[in-house]
Amino acid sequence: MSFLARGEFSNSTFSFKAVIDFYGPAELILFPGANDPKSPESLLIGATPLSRPDLAKAASPVTYVDKNDPPFLIIHGEKDDLVSPKQSQLLSSWLNVVGVQNELIIVKEAPHFGVMFDTDEVRNKVMTFLQEKLK
C-alpha cells in the first residue's frame, strides 16, 4: 500500500524517474545556524541540529541517498547566502558515491533564487534533462 501526498492510501505504486533540485538543503548540520535555537533548521526539528544530530540526520536528504535513486539535475547559485552551494555539492558527492547519475550546475554569481536561473541555458538544461529521463 502506498501513501499519497494528500493523505489517502492507494494500492498502486509509483517511482520517480528524475529529480530536479534547485538550491535545496541536503545536510542540516552544515547550516550556519546549526547551534542557533531560532534558526529555520532548529525550528524544523524542534532543537538545534548540533544538539540533536539524530533529528538533523532524519531531516537531511543526504541520509536517504541510495543506489536506487533516479537521476538528479542539481542547480545552485554560486553566491547563495541562504543555502550554501556546499549543500548541493555534498548531495552530488553522495549520489556519485552510490553510483546515481547526477549533474551539478553552479550558476555563476547567482543568489539563492531569482532571474539568474531564468535563462535559456538553465531552461534548456532542465528541458533536455526531462525529455531524456521521462521517455
Convert the pLDDT of each residue in 114-129 to its tens digit: 999 999 999 999 999 9
Instruction: Please name every residue paired with 9 in a beta bridge, in sequence order, or none if there are none.
Output: 3
Q: Give residues with Cβ within 8 angstroms of 36, minimum separation 6.
A: 42, 48
- Average pLDDT in the 40-52 region? 97
CATH architecture of 8-25+66-135: 3-Layer(aba) Sandwich (3.40)
- Confidence (pLDDT) at 103: 98
If residue 131 lies in a helix (H) or strand (E), which one and from where to where?
helix 120-133
Closest CA to 76 of 39, 37, 108: 108
Q: Residue 9's pLDDT is what?
A: 63
Q: Which three cell numbers stand for residue 50?
A: 548540533
Q: Domain residue spans in the chain? A: 8-25+66-135, 28-59
On whether the pTM is more than 0.85, the answer is yes
Task: Summarize the confidence of residues 82-103 as an average pLDDT.
Answer: 98
Mean pLDDT over 3-25 rounds to 79
